[in-house]
Amino acid sequence: MNKPEPENLGAHSRRTFLKSLGTVAATAATAQVTSVAAELEKVNAEKVVGPNAVPVTLKVNGQKLKLLLEPRVTLLDALRNYSTFTGAKEGCDRATCGACTVLLGDTPVYSCQKLAIEAQGEEITTVEGLAKNEKLSKVQSAFLDQDALQCGYCTPGFVMSVTALLKRNSHPNAADVKHACAGNLCRCGTQPRIIQAALKAAGVETASRTEVVDYV
Amino acid sequence: MKAFEYATAHSTASARELVAGNGAYLAGGNDLLGLLKEYLVSANILVNIKSLPGLDKIERGEKHWSIGSLVTVAQIEDDMEIKKVFPGLHEAASDVASQQIRNVATVGGNLAQHSRCWYFRQRDVPCLKKNGDLCYARNGENRYHSLFTGNPCISPVVSSLATIFTSLDATAIVLRDGKEIRLSMAELYQRAWENPLAHNSLNHGDLILRVEIPTARNRSAYMQVSDKHAFDWALVSCAAAAEVVAGKLKSPRVALGSISPVPHQVEAANHFLDGKVLDAATATQAADLILKDAKPLEHNAYKMPIAHALIRRTLLKLKGTA
Amino acid sequence: MSNWPTETKYISHATTRIDAPAKLTGKARYASDIQAEGWLYGMILRSKWPAAKILSINLEAALKIPGIKAAVTVKDGPRTIRFYGEELAAVAGTSKQACLDALRAIEVQAEPRHDFVVNEAEARKENAAQVWEGSPNSSKPQVRESGSVDTAFPECAAVVEGFYSTPIQIHHPMETHGNTISWTDDGVKAWASTQGISSVRDGLAGALQLNHSQVRVVTEYMGGGFGAKFGAGVEGILAAKLSKAAKAPVRLMLTRFEQALAVGNRPSSFQKIKIGATADGMLHAFEAENYGTAGIGGGGDGGGGGGGADITLPYLYKVPNSRVKQSVVAVNAGGARAFRAPGNPPASFGMESVMDDLAVKLGMDPLEFRLKNDPNPIRQREYKLGAEKFGWKQKYSKPGSSPGVVKIGVGCAAGAWPAGGGSSDTQGEAQINPDGSIEFRLGVQDIGTGTRTVIAVIAAELLGLKPEQITVKVGDTNYPPGPGSGGSTTCPSISPTVFDICQKALAQLQTQSGLADARGANWFAACKKLGVSPLVVHGKWQRGLSADRACGVQFAEVEVDTETGLVTVKKILGVHDCGLIINKLTLESQINGGIIMGMGYALYEERVMDDLSGVMLNPNFETYKLPGIADVPNIDIVLINMPERGVIGIGEPATIPTAGAIANAIANAIGVRVCSLPITPAKILAALGKVPPVTT
């Protein structure tokens, strides 16, 4: 029976054929079959993984995490439930509250709406990765000073959003802070102080808005 | 979400092949993952299209610009040249959702996003759009729904980019079965008017490649009103674009979003505005023409005055943009 | 009677939160973060029908899903479901994914009922579907009368009538309800997201038939409660049962979807009010009829599903002739739970709205009208102080007189919270070590209010130390019992308790060391004299150091775009008293929080139910709208310092008057009243007559 030449196959059966060869064929490539190797490389780059768990490597706060995850596992799920990074919180799991905000590089994203498998190769920063040698970052210190937190559940998300803002714009005004943090919700009502904290981290002091008056 | 396979496509042909059957393209994932989490769509495989070459460029040209479908909304917002040349597009982009979403949301995904009707999005309501027998919104809670309601599914298009692209007369270039087809914004959404199951005119496997925007209209503006000041779907959105020559409008276009399954544009209104001097009176007349055939529902007639105001304000803003 | 010190270094000043670093670095572990050894993920299956008879639940297929270690039902055998989202069963497994798959594999045999009702007005009708079999939906109206209201109205110079409504508001703390629970042969350990560790312990012990001493509840950090997090909850009991079955700890947290449906809300109100005053501006007659829903409430006896939807009218004002009729109506929706100042925000909204309208009718300044009719001396002071700081006289003009398309308006409203006193059952202890380190242990919760820091501040003040030197441990049923964190009672409960501990500690240290004064500079020397044995001092709440009742008056300035209906709150001024200020910094945060929550109530929040399908349409943050950072106005605060009253709570007073103040400011801006919360652009445009009629 003739073995079909790779070049004559339609894309679909070429894929199946090459899949069945596995990667071993690459090492046996001759000049005539370099096109097979090229095809194999392409196939491997387009390799279908899952639905069962597959190895996923995530770089979190400089640390490499080697996990075994189904493709449907979100980055937030991977952080909170498959490793010990519980700093990012689950507030809604629907990209509406920002409690799960992490940085991919310098970019703030909702980790609940990002597949873990797609966060490979990124420098992921969570709130646990901001303090250096126990010393709070500028943003974290400012939040502390200005009391920009109450129950603390939305806090990691806001801290990441403000951190990202200051990386892009070291002299934001209140409107910039609001624009950067519109995707973060808080139920305790820390928003006024978050604005103050962000400005403070940028070197701008804001006056207290409270007056104490004796009754008598 | 149900379990799915995952693969990254490196060519549009592979992508098309990989989603054949019951696969879905995965770009930013904001809409798709939300739909999967609610079991509103099912997909055996998610095909990452973010590595497809050549779809992430903003290309500046004399006669038209080309924005790749993988360009993120944040990139559009941050592009200072777009802000100068297409100010309405800049405004629309900066109003989209939140920073975190804009950072990953793509032009293609924003255009192709599914209905936000809360009956559609409620997993246990068998509405018309999910092959059920009834549009629950028509006689139910319809405060966020269409003003133009002569069709079966009254869920409006909510893509703010679609609104501004409509006013800029932009064209979506879509790859369908290996061939590029050109769709105006009206054509891109027409099927959503006709077919209650459809969110737009894309077939399964269609891939938006880029959007081409003619530069002819040197002035554009976009505005929206929501209940909240940010991170809230528009109740009504409006975009206007025109060339302004010696204070007169040339080739004006006005479009409304969030009030019809298709970005709403009225030929007669554009025609009326053409050659006119832009002032409050012409703007008002244009607004009247655009809203003439509205058939509001029990709870959404409030969108009429909002739409009217936005049309006037967006048009008058054209005076100021350069 | 003991007294708080008058010259203070820390009390009444600003101290940063001692738990801030843990929260800011992600080190703080909430119930949803606990990763106990071998822990499993838990998830609940809920009813997709608003009313149904459940015949059977088959867990077999679910148990076969890889990774699933246990599955339980809420109750075996037939039962009746009365709202969309009611709990049916739960599973525990090694991953969220396994649980999701398992839930979809559970087979439920049910007979859905097509007669259900989710709308209050519909539920009150004669032929409405019955929420509780054999019980009318509406409770028998309770009537309170004084004077002679029917003869009093004709005597009034001005009468105003209106129908005011407030929606169901959902607590939506950022951390949902839930627990991580481990049930072994040694007993139960629950890491709970709760405002009341004792209530969780009691609830679990009761449901699981254990002794209280076999159940330990720990809440080191929790992500907000606002009144909804008391008791074990169905979710807590399910987690415990799963843990026993699986022989592993189970972390079961609600999703945001479930949070919206099933764990409490603020009852709605529908207030028909008629109010009249004499020519000289004194309130003379008041008549109101109110009904609201508390969902399915607590039960069917007596109709109305039980549960509190009552509000106090005529709220703060004494009217010599009044008649108030209250009833509650049951609907097929999640039941109500106490929500930050229960009954008060709706009452304040309704009452303060009619007060403004009546003032306008009389041709009086609304502030002057209130000063005439509200003799409370504290509020009198607050109104006057606030008016001056706010610039009321300069800013107030007749309703609708603001020129232009975007109209400016101002309004004010008052609130009072009758509770806020301390719980006399509060206890605590401190362990003082020979090296001078000190650790306080109280079975109280810090729900974000700054409880830990209050303890540190008071201890530092009374012992002559710095707050950083005080270690504070809270949230463990192994510690001496503290109050539930509700009713604005926490601060007035723990402050006198810490005071008592400190007094006793100093007395003992002074006796043991021979030093006349063990505080401050002498502290370490005194402690050293303890030798090898730490000193453990037990203390409890003492009378005379705290009080109840706190008031507040708020002023709002708004801008209303009369073409689009968009409301922008520019500024809110809150003038509040809360006795002795312990920590100014965290107190301000509480007031900000109350105001912002009140703003959400005024402008954005409401539960939307669909009459036809009986489901909730907005069980998410997309269409249940919380105020965001872009919506929040400038908030100014004036704190009335009244140290002689002792410590009083602030959490609830701060949220009461906000909606009324904003509603009044809007009415002042546009010259016409919107009577229904939330005041959306749609309602503003309708009130302005700009919405065309719809022909159906």
Could you tell me the domains of chain A?
A: 12-45 (no CATH), 54-129 (3.10.20.30), 138-201 (1.10.150.120)
Alpha carbon of C90: minimum distance to chain B alpha carbons (Å)? 18
Q: Which CATH class is domain B58-113+154-320?
A: alpha beta
Domain-located, residue C512: yes
The model's pLDDT over B278-305, given as tens digits with 9 standing for 90+, comes to 999 999 999 999 999 999 999 999 999 9
The dihedrals phi and psi of C433, each to the nearest 5 degrees, come to -95, 155
Give the separation between CA C132 and CA C136, rounded to whole angstroms. 8
B288 interfaces chain C, CB cutoff of 8 Å: no
pLDDT computed for residue C134 by the predictor: 87
Residue C401 shares a structural domain with residue C462: no
Number of domains chain C is built from: 3
| Cβ atoms C44, C176 nearer than 8 A | no
Q: Return the structure tokens found at C76.
A: 């075996």
At A12, is the pLDDT very low, low, confident or very high (cuts 50, 70, 90)? very low
Out of B118, B139, B301, name the one closest to residue C617 (CB): B118
Asked whether the predicted pLDDT for residue A29 surpasses 90, the reply is no
Chain C residues in contact with chain B using a Cβ-Cβ cutoff of 8 Å: 48, 84, 97, 100-101, 563-566, 568, 603-604, 608, 610-613, 615, 617-618, 622-623, 625, 627-631, 680-682, 685-686, 690-694, 696
What residues of B are in contact with residue A47 (Cβ under 8 Å)? 7
Could A215 and C378 be called an inter-chain contact, meaning their C-beta atoms sit closer than 8 Å? yes
pLDDT computed for residue C297 by the predictor: 81
Could A191 and C628 be called an inter-chain contact, meaning their C-beta atoms sit closer than 8 Å? yes
- Residue ending a domain, among C540, C575, C593, is C540
Residue C296 shares a structural domain with residue C414: yes
C-alpha pair distances (Å), C404 with each of B225, C264, C408, C562, C669: 19, 43, 9, 9, 11
Residue C522 shares a structural domain with residue C666: no
What does the mean pLDDT of chain A come to?
88
- Count of beta carbons in the 10 Å neighbourhood of residue B178: 8
Domain-located, residue C9: no
Asked whether the predicted pLDDT for residue A10 surpasses 90, the reply is no
A109 interfaces chain B, CB cutoff of 8 Å: yes
What residues of C are in contact with residue A143 (Cβ under 8 Å)? 20, 24
At A21, is the pLDDT very low, low, confident or very high (cuts 50, 70, 90)? low
The model's pLDDT over C590-630, given as tens digits with 9 standing for 90+, comes to 999 999 999 999 999 999 999 999 999 999 999 999 999 99
Letter string b/e over residues C620-659, b meaning 16 or more CB atoms within 10 A of that residue's CB: bbbbbbbbbbbbbbebbbbbbbbbebbbbbbbbbbbbbbb
Asked whether the predicted pLDDT for residue A33 surpasses 80, the reply is no
pLDDT computed for residue C500 by the predictor: 97
List chain B domain ranges.
Answer: 1-52, 58-113+154-320
What does the mean pLDDT of chain B come to?
97
Could B8 and A46 be called an inter-chain contact, meaning their C-beta atoms sit closer than 8 Å? yes
Task: List average pLDDT for each run of 10 residues in chain B, which is 322 residues long.
Answer: 97 96 97 98 98 98 97 98 97 98 98 98 97 97 96 97 98 97 98 97 98 97 98 98 93 98 98 96 97 96 98 93 48
Give the separation between CA C133 and CA C34, rounded to whole angstroms. 42
* Residue of chain C whose alpha carbon sits nearest to that of A209: C636
Domain-located, residue C411: yes
pLDDT computed for residue A34 by the predictor: 56
**Residue B134 forms beta bridges with which residues?**
B127
Residue C281 shares a structural domain with residue C373: yes
Residue C582 shares a structural domain with residue C603: yes
Nearest to C586 by CA among C664, C528, C517, C639: C639
Helix ranges (DSSP H) in C391-450: 392-395
Q: What is the Cβ-side half-sphere exposure of residue C16, based on CA atoms within 13 angstroms?
A: 18
Residue C326 shares a structural domain with residue C396: yes
B309 interfaces chain C, CB cutoff of 8 Å: yes
B280 interfaces chain C, CB cutoff of 8 Å: no
B139 interfaces chain A, CB cutoff of 8 Å: no
Nearest to C282 by CA among C322, C323, C324, C317: C317
Give the separation between CA A23 and CA C690, rounded to whole angstroms. 70
- Residue C245: which CATH number? 3.90.1170.50
| Domains B1-52 and B58-113+154-320 fall in the same CATH topology | no
Domain-located, residue C56: yes
Alpha carbon of B34: minimum distance to chain A alpha carbons (Å)? 6
- Residue ending a domain, among C490, C511, C540, is C540
Mutate to test the interface with A, among B26, B99, B231 (most CBs of A within 10 A): B99
Could A71 and B9 be called an inter-chain contact, meaning their C-beta atoms sit closer than 8 Å? no
What residues of C are in contact with residue A187 (Cβ under 8 Å)? 171-174, 224, 226, 597, 626
* Residue of chain A whose alpha carbon sits nearest to that of C592: A189
DSSP state at residue C13: B
Q: Which CATH class is domain B1-52?
A: alpha beta
Q: Return the structure tokens found at C74.
A: 């809420």
- Residue ending a domain, among C485, C519, C540, is C540
Out of B3, B136, B225, name the one closest to residue C566 (CB): B225
Residue C438 shares a structural domain with residue C403: no
Give the separation between CA B104 and CA B102, rounded to whole angstroms. 5
Residue C454 shares a structural domain with residue C597: no
- B246-250, Cβ contacts within 8 angstroms, sequence gap of 24 or more: B247/B277, B247/B278, B248/B275, B248/B276, B248/B277, B248/B278, B249/B273, B249/B274, B249/B275, B249/B276, B249/B277, B249/B278, B249/B318, B250/B274, B250/B275
The model's pLDDT over A114-133, given as tens digits with 9 standing for 90+, comes to 999 999 999 999 999 999 98
What residues of C are in contact with residue A128 (Cβ under 8 Å)? 25-27
- Residue C615: which CATH number? 3.30.365.10
B302 interfaces chain C, CB cutoff of 8 Å: yes
Residue C487 shares a structural domain with residue C413: no
Please give the helix or strand (H or E) that residue A97 lies within, else none.
Answer: none
The model's pLDDT over A46-59, given as tens digits with 9 standing for 90+, comes to 999 999 999 999 99
- Count of beta carbons in the 10 Å neighbourhood of residue C115: 10
Give the distance, in angstroms, between the CA of residue C571 and the centroid of all CA atoms in the same chain.
Answer: 23
Could B101 and A95 be called an inter-chain contact, meaning their C-beta atoms sit closer than 8 Å? yes
Residue C211 shares a structural domain with residue C320: no
Q: Which positions of chain C have pLDDT values less than 50?
A: 1, 298-301
The model's pLDDT over C118-170, given as tens digits with 9 standing for 90+, comes to 999 999 999 999 999 888 999 989 999 999 999 999 999 999 999 999 999 99
Residue C624 shares a structural domain with residue C636: yes
Domain that holds residue C498: 20-28+422-540
Nearest to B111 by CA among B45, B60, B80, B157: B157
Out of C174, C584, C637, name the one closest to residue A154 (CB): C174
| Cβ atoms C235, A72 nearer than 8 A | no
Alpha carbon of A194: minimum distance to chain B alpha carbons (Å)? 16
Residue C290 shares a structural domain with residue C313: yes
